[in-house]
Amino acid sequence: MSLVVAKFGGTSVADYQAMNRCADIVLGNPATRLVVVSASSGVTNLLVELSQADMGDERRLKLLKEIATIQYAILDKLGRPADVAAALDALLSRMATLSARLLQAPSHAMVDEILSLGEQCSSALFAAVLRERGAKASAFDVRQVMRTDSHFGKAEPQIAELKRLATEKLQPLLEQQLLVTQGFIGADADGRTTTLGRGGSDYSAALLAEALEADAVEIWTDVEGIYTTDPRLAPNARPIAEISFNEAAEMATFGAKVLHPATILPAVRQQIQVFVGSSRAPEKGGTWIRHQVEDEPVFRAVAVRRDQTLLNLHSLQMLHAQGFLAETFAVLARHKISVDLITTSEVNVSLTLDKTGSDSAGKGLLTEALLQELSQNCRVRVEDKLALVAIIGNKIATTAGICRRVFEVLEPHNVRMICQGASPHNLCVLVSEAEAGDVVAALHRNLFEGAQDAA
């Protein structure tokens, strides 16, 4: 029997009406048997605020009320069926208790417990919407199967354990009914609640699809798939019907943050096709991400990643020496930092830090402790307010004439760093945040709107 996992993002489950549009999608495809939801739009942000330990009681109560208002608005439209009303009341009262306790004794574990409540509320409500529409559906607590390590705020899923637990506890239930489960959250081996980092629900859906050997995972959001670039930056941006895993992986954070970058990993491992579309306008189609695609153009998309930090490391010790990079990377790894781009000269190394999926509480990556440790080996300079512009495509490193078309656009801009050659699928430039929009628009015009590209 074929199995599709459908994931709905925060705006897709924002209110009763939005949830009903999602129900249309789920019930329209009999293969869709597992639904993964984000918290209703805005709720995770409110929970992040609620888990700030230095907040006054007045603010805390106001936040609790705001969250309750969003969730009860959905419940009230459902006509308050007793089972889900009791479940929602229990979740909201747990939110109140935990947030009060957090003021006394804050802990990372408790923060994750609080953050997880958004998805717990939305999954209970969405299962009730599906039942109201006549489906046999229940909410399923994903913590029974989504086993992670204990790195609260950005926990690592444990793939083998997840597969074992999903086969044992989830698979048999799926044969009997539709299940609605939570994205973003998991539990460690001791049963403590963890979260996968902001935006982690897409990743959850792909992980569950992998564990269940599903045929496809659908990511329903508020944009109609992946575009050649962010349409807000270039109004002539076009939707992409089909894109390969390799290109998609290189896009890291896609243009308009369509998909959490880690989503692609489980899909590639298990060769599961991924669909991205809008739950508001499913008839408009979307983008399929597949192992093999028909068309492999040189230029596929221009993506931008803002809020980039560049670390410049300078040391004469690097001159004809070995091991400097190994040591630097060991320090970064100890601080759980993933490096994005890197360029080197004889006595300098420049690198940008991968900020995607920074932890659930949104804390910065560059801590004093890290800078101090790095400074023991070299002089460290930090530059921020930068943006990374990536040109994504195929055979970029082996097609003549690409640099000319890119660099003529960049002429008026200061390019802080260029990375090309490592991947056949991308060419990246680092520019100031302020210029990024213009650079993207100009690149799109030159690479996608020129006479030879007009499809």
Binding site for Mg ion (CB under 5 A): 9, 199
Q: Cβ of 303: how many Cβ atoms within 10 Å?
A: 27
Shortest Cβ 131–ligand ASP spacing (Å): 23
11 binds ligand ASP (CB under 6 A): no
Residue 198 contacts which entry, ligand ASP, Mg ion, none (Cβ below 5-8 A, type-dependent) = ligand ASP
The one segment of 36-44, 54-62, 263-271, 279-287 that binds ligand ASP by CB under 6 A = 36-44
**Nearest-CA neighbor of 290 among 254, 238, 249, 253?**
249
Shortest Cβ 122–ligand ASP spacing (Å): 9
Q: Between 45 and 150, whose beta carbon lies closer to ligand ASP?
A: 45
Residue among 200, 225, 277, 393 that touches ligand ASP (CB under 6 A): 200
Q: Cβ of 215: how many Cβ atoms within 10 Å?
A: 15
**Nearest-CA neighbor of 252 among 244, 243, 262?**
262
201 binds ligand ASP (CB under 6 A): yes
Listed in sequence order, the residues at least 6 apart from 163 whose beta carbon sits closer than 8 Å to its beta carbon are: 210, 211
Q: Between 199 and 357, whose beta carbon lies closer to Mg ion?
A: 199
* Cβ atoms 117, 160 nearer than 8 A: no
The one segment of 99-107, 171-179, 198-206, 237-245 that binds ligand ASP by CB under 6 A = 198-206
Is 395 known to sit in a ligand binding site?
Answer: no
The one segment of 37-45, 55-63, 141-149, 342-350 that binds ligand ASP by CB under 6 A = 37-45
Buried b / exposed e across 122-144, counting CB within 10 Å, b at 16+? bbbbbbbbbbbeebebbbbebbb
Is 363 known to sit in a ligand binding site?
Answer: no
Shortest Cβ 205–ligand ASP spacing (Å): 9
Is 222 known to sit in a ligand binding site?
Answer: yes
Shortest Cβ 322–ligand ASP spacing (Å): 42
Is 416 known to sit in a ligand binding site?
Answer: no
Shortest Cβ 452–ligand ASP spacing (Å): 39
The one segment of 38-46, 218-226, 399-407, 437-445 that binds ligand ASP by CB under 6 A = 38-46
Residue among 8, 184, 227, 245 that touches ligand ASP (CB under 6 A): 184
Structure-derived torsion over alpha carbons of residues 287, 292, 293, 294, reported in degrees to the nearest 10: -160
**Nearest-CA neighbor of 361 among 117, 59, 107, 48?**
48
Residue among 3, 5, 6, 10 that touches ligand ASP (CB under 6 A): 10
Count of residues making up the chain: 455
C-alpha pair distances (Å), 104 with each of 53, 57, 357 = 8, 12, 28
Site map (CB under 6 A) of ligand ASP, residues 110-129, x = contact: --------x-----------
Is 9 known to sit in a ligand binding site?
Answer: yes
186 binds ligand ASP (CB under 6 A): no
Residue among 60, 147, 198, 290 that touches ligand ASP (CB under 6 A): 198
Is 385 known to sit in a ligand binding site?
Answer: no
The one segment of 51-59, 197-205, 227-235, 344-352 that binds ligand ASP by CB under 6 A = 197-205
Residue 229 contacts which entry, ligand ASP, Mg ion, none (Cβ below 5-8 A, type-dependent) = none
Residue 184 contacts which entry, Mg ion, ligand ASP, none (Cβ below 5-8 A, type-dependent) = ligand ASP
Size of the site for ligand ASP (CB under 6 A): 12
Is 8 known to sit in a ligand binding site?
Answer: yes
Query: Residue 232: what are its φ and ψ, rounded to 5°?
Result: -70, -25
Place of tokens 């192992």: 291
Is 258 known to sit in a ligand binding site?
Answer: yes
Q: Which two tokens stand for residue 161?
A: 């354990």
Q: Between 182 and 244, whose beta carbon lies closer to ligand ASP?
A: 182
183 binds ligand ASP (CB under 6 A): yes
- Name the residues that contact ligand ASP, by CB under 6 A: 9-10, 38-39, 44, 118, 183-184, 198-201
Please enumerate, by residue number, every residue annotated as part of a binding site: 7-10, 44, 119, 221-222, 227, 232, 257-258
